[in-house]
Structure 1
Amino acid sequence: MLNLDHLPDIVYAIQHVSFEDLGSLEDTFYQLGFRVRYFEAGVDDLKKAFEYKGLTIILGGPVGVNEIQDYPFLQSEIDLLKVRLEKHLPTLGICLGAQLIASALGSKVFAGHTKEIGWSKLQLESTENNLLSPLSNIPVLHWHGDTFDLPDHTILLASTEHYPNQAFQLGTNILALQFHIEVEADALEKWLIGHTTELRQAQIDIQKLRQDNQIYAPALTSPTKQIIENFMKKIII
């Protein structure tokens, strides 16, 4: 059994839309002896989650970092996240969460030249002890239209053909992934329903996306668990 006694036994997760949850990560945390508590952005007071000394995960969603005028809670998230990152508290960002981390670290977040929605492999950087090495030659789910400049003092971990900055790490405690490692084979349907307008506007083949999910998602569970275990055992509190 992996020894993670140095970490508080609850993982906090911030959701921006109800159907984008921890997915397979939730089972991983339970297996490792952690409990999970969700916070809803725009509804709940997120101060407790951002000041938490244990692991806080910021999940994805359809809103964009730069939509602060319409969604003022985003500014509060960024402000709280800046303080959290300055304290180097354990933080994992996925998709929108990664973009919020990039913004809080002072990098520009902007609309990309194309929607990147679908399954494809990553180009992993030849960084020593790359946390994402378990994903070598394994497709992951991409679902974003925005991207970001690589923040200062971070280590680039992965790229794709369309977007050079797909994942980065800051020290031992902060990990940002623009793609989704948490998606499950039997749970993508709620994404297809919830994001139907975006999918049709982007002219995504929904049937193919569903079929690809059934093919690729099961193979993602094991390397995802390995990534989380490796990340958490290196966290310094």
Structure 2
Amino acid sequence: MTPLFVVQHLERETPGLFQDLAQQHGMAVQVIRVDLGEPLPSLVKGDGLLVLGGPMGVADLYKPAFPWLEDEVLLIQQALEHQIPFVGVCLGAQLLAHAAGGGVEPLLGGDPPRPLAEVGWAPITSTLEAANQSLITSLMQPLDVLHWHGDRIILPETANVLATSVRCREQLFRIGPLAYGLQFHLEVEDQDVFRWIAEDNDFICGALGENAADILRDQQRLYSSSSRPRRLKLLADLFRELWPSYF
């Protein structure tokens, strides 16, 4: 049974559908709460690693409040070096890019351009670079996903962009044969998003204005259920790329 180590940074950002899918297919999921002081794993061949999101970022790497971020970068570099299957979501995707020699900068929007987060449901579409990727059968048509980030990823030259959004090019990418970064969220269910809305008010209002909570609740009701089958298919296709013996 393949161990899938899941690095979680705060209570509200859980593995959600990632964990459900992995367990349904017989993988052994171990969630590690680094914010609660739980130690990161020592990886060996045959393991898998999933790093989730959080409000912290690459700019917080050397801050005393997040001492585990530096260790996460080292762990991701180990996964890349030893070709251990890896998925990074939001913060996890940013750490993957950083670990491979890339970076992060504020996402700009508006006229004139200014730092402006991408928050809410919006489609991603596959790129020409993704044409030969089997997992991109899930993206032959645009797919509505949840965005919740204020930065954009500066990818290293070794990365391949697989899907983009109107606001941000670097949405789904691959580095090497077995490492994928997702700037967006496939994994969240309604209860998760409603909690994010309640607990992240300043962030969402900075992106969408004072009616942000109402806008996001309306979007959730409109897009979550309708997109769920295709989001699950993309998740399954991604896992099939990384752990074919289970899928």
SS state of the match for residue 187, structure 1? helix
Whole-Å Cα distance in 1 between the matches of residues 33 and 182 of structure 2? 20
Distance, in Å, in 1 between the alignment partners of 2:191 and 2:45 is 31
The equivalent position to 2:68 in structure 1, one of 73, 77, 86, is: 73
- In structure 2, the partner of 1:139 is 144
Provide the residue aligned with 2:81 in structure 1. 86
SS of equivalent to 1:122: strand
Q: Does structure 1 residue 224 correspond to structure 2 residue 231?
A: yes
**Contact 1:94–1:180 (CA<8 Å) still a contact in 2?**
yes
How far apart are residue 123 of structure 1 and its match? Answer: 2.6
Contact 2:34 2:40 in 1 (8 A): yes
Matches of 1:84 and 1:197 in 2, distance apart? 35
Provide the C-alpha distance between the structure 2 equivalents of 1:236 and 1:223, rounded to a whole number of angstroms.
19
> Residues 39-77 of structure 1, C-alpha deviation per residue, up to 9 Å, x if partnerless?
0124211133x5573221100000011112322321111
Q: Corresponding residue for 2:4?
A: 11
Task: Provide closer, same or farther for how the CA distance between residues 9 and 69 of structure 1 changes in structure 2, counting only shifts above 3 A.
Answer: closer
Distance 1:176 1:159 in 2: 12
Distance 2:102 2:120 in 1: 25
Partners in 2 of 1:52 and 1:77 — Cα distance?
18
Alignment of 1:1-237 (within 5 A): 8-42=1-35, 43-48=37-42, 50-51=43-44, 53-70=46-63, 71-113=66-108, 114-126=116-128, 127=130, 128-129=132-133, 131-135=135-139, 136-204=141-209, 205-235=212-242
Corresponding residue SS for 2:198: helix
Cα separation, 2, equivalents of 1:166 and 1:202? 18
TM-score by length of 1: 0.88
Q: How many residues align?
A: 229
Deviation at 1:177, TM superposition (A): 0.5
Amino acid at match of 1:98: A
Gaps of 5+ in 2: 109-115
Residues 155, 168 of structure 1: 8 Å contact kept: yes
- Length-normalised TM-score, structure 2: 0.84
Seq. identity, %: 28
**Over aligned residues, Cα RMSD in angstroms?**
2.1
Q: Distance in 1 between matches of 2:83 and 2:231?
A: 23
Moved more, 24-33 or 207-216: 24-33
Runs of 4+ in 1 over 6 A off after TM superposition: none
CA distance in 1, matches of 2:89, 2:53: 6
Cα drift, residue 144 of structure 1: 0.3
2:134–2:237 CA contact under 8 A, matched in 1: no
